[in-house]
């Protein structure tokens, strides 16, 4: 399993490992709310995801490019699933229809 993950990671150099941790940076966003939206989509898909540096970016958006933006982190066992979910988000698969009722709790 680990060899398959290593081969997949070699083909996806944009995915970064955090040194000494079982977490990977699967995406970076300069706009904190966009990162929060993607995190919500990941969690809705059953993928544990956390944001790193979101509060720092909200404090001073001018620092975002210099610091690399808000990072989305997921455990190693969810990296491939997270990447597929992020691609689905980019394609608009999580978009709500204009007539979607988001106020109903039923």
pLDDT of residue 59: 77
Exposed/middle/buried for 4, CB within 10 Å: 0-12, 13-18, 19+? Answer: exposed
73 touches 23 (CB < 8 A) = yes
Locate the domains of the chain by residue range. Answer: 2-91
Give the largest CA-CA distance in the chain.
Answer: 46
Query: pLDDT band for position 63 (50/70/90)?
Result: confident
pLDDT of residue 53: 86
What is the overall mean pLDDT for the chain?
A: 85
């Amino acid at each position: 399993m680990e060899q398959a993950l290593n081969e997949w990671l070699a083909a996806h150099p944009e995915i970064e490992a955090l040194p000494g941790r079982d977490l990977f940076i699967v995406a970076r966003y300069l706009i904190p709310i966009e990162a929060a939206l993607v995190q919500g989509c990941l969690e809705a898909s059953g993928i544990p995801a956390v944001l790193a540096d979101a509060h720092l970016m909200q404090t001073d958006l001018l620092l975002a490019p210099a610091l690399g933006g808000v990072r989305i982190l997921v455990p190693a066992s969810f990296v491939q699933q997270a990447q597929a979910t992020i691609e689905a988000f980019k394609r608009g698969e999580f978009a709500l229809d204009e007539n979607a009722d988001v106020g109903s709790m039923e």
